[in-house]
Amino acid sequence: MPQLAELKGQEIVVWLVHMVIDQTTNVMLTRLVDIEPNGIWIEGRDLASHLHNLTQSGIVPRMPLFFVPFAQIGWICGSADYPSLSETRLGLKSL
């Protein structure tokens, strides 16, 4: 199992407990920029769109970075360095 520090610079999926990006989910694909003792710095298109909607702005000069305290994170999903197989697609498990 990778440590969080090993995922730095990679794309991760994050569930932000108290931040709703749209009406259906608060799970988003982001890039893990940095890790601090109290939380993580992330960036991503969904977060940038959310910021544009909040500020009613069409443009921000650079990709915004967001600090998220660990207390606001439900879970983080990274990727392992081996192929992922779908049992359903391979016919091994019924829907």
Q: How many domains does the chain have?
A: 1
Q: Show the domain range for 36.
A: 4-77
Q: What is the mean pLDDT of the chain?
A: 81
95 domain residue, yes or no: no
35 domain residue, yes or no: yes
pLDDT of residue 41: 96
Q: Give the tens place of pLDDT for each residue, 76-91.
A: 988 776 676 777 777 7
Q: Which of 65, 58, 71, 70 is nearest to 30 (CA)?
A: 65
**Exposure string for 38-54, b = 16+ CB within 10 A, e = fewer:** ebbbbebebbbebeeee
